[in-house]
Amino acid sequence: MAHDAPQATGPSKLVIRNIGLLLSGAMEKPILDADTVVAENGKITAIGRAKDVNTEGATTIVDALGTTVAPGLIDSHVHPVAGDWTPRQSQVNWIDSYLHGGVTTMISAGEVHMPGRPRDVVGLKAMAIFAQRAFWTLRPGGVKIHAGAPVIECEMVEDDFKELAAAGVKLLGEVGLGGVKDGPTARKMVGWARKYGIQSTIHTGGPSIPGSGLIDKDVVLEADTDVVGHINGGHTALPDDQIRCICEGCKRGLELVHNGNERSALYTLRTAREMGDLSRIILGTDAPAGSGVQPLGILRMISLLSSLGDVPAEIAFCFATGNTARMRTLDCGLIEIGRSADFVIMDKAQHSPGKNILDSVQLGDLPGVGMTIIDGIVRTQRSRNTPPAGKVPEIVGR
Ligand SMILES: [Zn+2]
């Protein structure tokens, strides 16, 4: 598989027609009444019934054959290093494998598995700037990887954050993975980051691997990062009463990860629902990690939360699309005019007992991915990783 993202070579117009079910990614209206989506030059330009939208001049026509179109999935928590390689599990092509699981955008929570990762201030800044540049230049399979997430150390001063922001760094790695593990220092640095437009997240719970440490509710609430990273632990979760304190004690994002405690994820989900705060729920895998790499991790989280957490499947898809896009101000994640034309086309997996794709997910099955599209360009067809979709879309014209 070529690692360079295919680029459109001229004006492009994508038409996806015969959509059986269109998931919007937006919790307030998760299902759209439309069977056709049009994208020009990588952006969505029309959503509606075939007779009402202008499909003339298409450069690519996809016949969805009655299957389901959703925004491409967003993994809010990954640990990339360089290229499509992870030294943590000595694997290559893991990002391409995620694309086959419907993931079109990834957000780095720190490039922490870099062998010999620098921990001095000049070195960690250089590493972050390198990662931001490298992953924007090389997009495996076309996947958008927002990387360059420095792991903060106690010696940093405000000017370091200003310099990082000026250099294009927009994220902090998980607070707590470096030397900063106390609330007051974390709060001060998260504030500096925010002042310069850098988003923040924190490692919540017990140590993930030897060398990381415990971050409890007091540190999480004092640090006040934009996202409460893996509130269900990575893997060791905080006790339920502390999870509830965090949910109630702030309005920040509540991130649930695959490489965490699944019972605690369900506890967080129920707590957020009681509070009427499901829009705060976002999903990640926290891979590569000790638990490995999960190409289907985001689909598995959607299915887990829907089936065991009694959440309609169309809402669970919003956790991995629109909620994350809004919280992290991404231009993808929603089927809306002007948004990036990033889609995953799915169908009920063959032999799932569900009546339809949503029912099958609510029964705990995974959907079959039939196609991924990024920036209006078809990237993959029938997934090599999901259970086979009943029907897969076809490219019927170019
Ligand atoms: Zn972590």
Dist. CA 236–CA 287, nearest whole Å: 15
Cα–Cα nearest to 303, from 359, 238, 362, 236: 362
* Residues at Cβ < 5 Å from ligand 1 ion: 174, 203, 208, 234
Is the CB of residue 60 less than 8 Å from the CB of residue 343? no
- State residue 1's pLDDT score: 36
What's the 321 CA to ligand 1 centre distance in angstroms?
21
Separation of CA 284 and ligand 1 centre (Å): 11
Distance from the alpha carbon of residue 176 to the mean position of ligand 1, in angstroms: 8
CA distance 143 to 293: 16
Neighbours of 211 (CB within 10 A): 8
The Å distance, Cα 12 to ligand 1 centre, comes to 40
Side chain identity at 168, as an amino acid letter? G
Centre of ligand 1 to C-alpha 43, Å, is 34
Q: Give distance in angstroms: CA of 216 to centre of ligand 1.
A: 12
User: How many A from CA of 204 to the centre of ligand 1?
Assistant: 7
Report how far ligand 1's centroid is from the alpha carbon of 330 (Å): 22
Summarize pLDDT for 205-258 with one digit per residue, the tens: 998 877 777 999 999 999 999 999 999 999 999 999 999 999 999 999 999 999
Q: Whole-model pTM?
A: 0.97
C-alpha of residue 230 to centroid of ligand 1, in Å: 7
Task: Count CA atoms closer than 13 A to 181's CA, side-chain side.
Answer: 12
Q: Supply φ then ψ for residue 77, to 5 degrees.
A: -150, 95
The CA 367 to ligand 1 mean position distance, Å, reads 28
pLDDT along the chain (398 residues), means of 10: 55 97 98 98 98 96 98 98 95 97 98 96 98 96 98 98 98 96 97 98 90 90 98 96 98 98 98 98 97 97 98 98 98 98 98 98 98 98 98 93
